[in-house]
A and B are shown apart, each in its own frame.
Chain A
Amino acid sequence: KNEVEQSPQNLTAQEGEFITINCSYSVGISALHWLQQHPGGGIVSLFMLSSGKKKHGRLIATINIQEKHSSLHITASHPRDSAVYICAASEALFGNEKLTFGTGTRLTIIP
């Protein structure tokens, strides 16, 4: 059974700071997902990656398959980035199946 751990659990930063959230997993995976969850519950998929690095706007996700570790970075953070960020790992063939989730990192950006 895959174990997915995130750190930190909570993170408070000033607007404009560079943010890093870390995720580690215990067994080999086909894909790693980064998700954003706002109060009220809705989840938005930010990245799905199986190797290397992806960038979308101010968000960057990296993964190191050998070290079983992924990071989510936010540059020039803004109060609207405040949310819970969750990483989730898939061991299944298609990479988007049977996800095992971390418990999330609650990010608060102060103006």
Chain B
Amino acid sequence: ETGVTQSPTHLIKTRGQQVTLRCSSQSGHNTVSWYQQALGQGPQFIFQYYREEENGRGNFPPRFSGLQFPNYSSELNVNALELDDSALYLCASGSYNSPLHFGNGTRLTVT
């Protein structure tokens, strides 16, 4: 039990639609990061939030956006979905110099 909860667990969307994925972190974890994991690949860093501000971003287009809230929850929003966005989306939370705690992920399928 990592204390990090993601919802929904599975989601099917159509190309062009928008999606919001949610993550609830442990109390006291002031960083949250999101990763995309395509089938058979290692996760890829999307972006990270620290105290509600984005403080790092990977090689993902602006249609991937996020929010972090004061209650340690966060969101990943993806606009104009493409077929290649089909993947497992993982959030991970932590605090200074501590191991990360990962959620079980949301599996997104875009048709």
Chain B associates with chain A: yes
Of the candidates A35, A40, A41, A94, the one whose C-beta lies within 8 Å of that of B31 is A94
Kindly state whether residue A7 has any CB partner on chain B within 8 Å.
no
Structural contact, B105 and A98, CB atoms closer than 8 A = no
Interface residue tally for chain B (C-beta within 8 Å) = 30
Q: How many A-B residue pairs have CB under 8 A?
A: 71
Contacts beyond the supplied A41-B104, A43-B102, A101-B35: 5 A-B pairs with Cβ under 8 Å:
A41-B88, A42-B104, A45-B101, A96-B97, A101-B43
Knowing A41-B107, A43-B90, A97-B48 are in contact, say whether A48-B99 is a contact too (CB < 8 A): yes
CB distance from A30 to the nearest CB of B (A): 9
Give Cα distance in the complex from A47 to B100, angstroms: 10
Of the candidates B35, B41, B56, B103, the one whose C-beta lies within 8 Å of that of A92 is B56
Q: Which residues of A contact B98 (CB under 8 A)?
A: 48, 96
Of A41, A88, A92, chain B has the most CB atoms within 10 Å of the CB of A41
Q: Which residues of A contact B66 (CB under 8 A)?
A: none
Structural contact, A104 and B42, CB atoms closer than 8 A = yes
Q: Which residues of A contact B105 (CB under 8 A)?
A: 41-43
CB distance from B59 to the nearest CB of A (A): 9
Structural contact, B99 and A103, CB atoms closer than 8 A = no
Chain B residue nearest in CB terms to A86: B42
Q: Which residues of A contact B96 (CB under 8 A)?
A: 94
Structural contact, B42 and A97, CB atoms closer than 8 A = no
Chain B residue nearest in CB terms to A30: B97
Give Cα distance in the complex from A17 to B97, angstroms: 33
Give Cα distance in the complex from A44 to B1, angstroms: 9
Structural contact, B104 and A103, CB atoms closer than 8 A = no
Chain B residue nearest in CB terms to A98: B56
Q: Which residues of B contact A45 (CB under 8 A)?
A: 99-102
Give Cα distance in the complex from A33 to B33, angstroms: 15
Q: Which residues of A contact B37 (CB under 8 A)?
A: 41
Q: Which residues of B contact A71 (CB under 8 A)?
A: none
Kindly state whether residue B2 has any CB partner on chain A within 8 Å.
yes
Structural contact, A96 and B104, CB atoms closer than 8 A = no
Q: Which residues of B contact A104 (CB under 8 A)?
A: 42
Structural contact, A103 and B97, CB atoms closer than 8 A = no
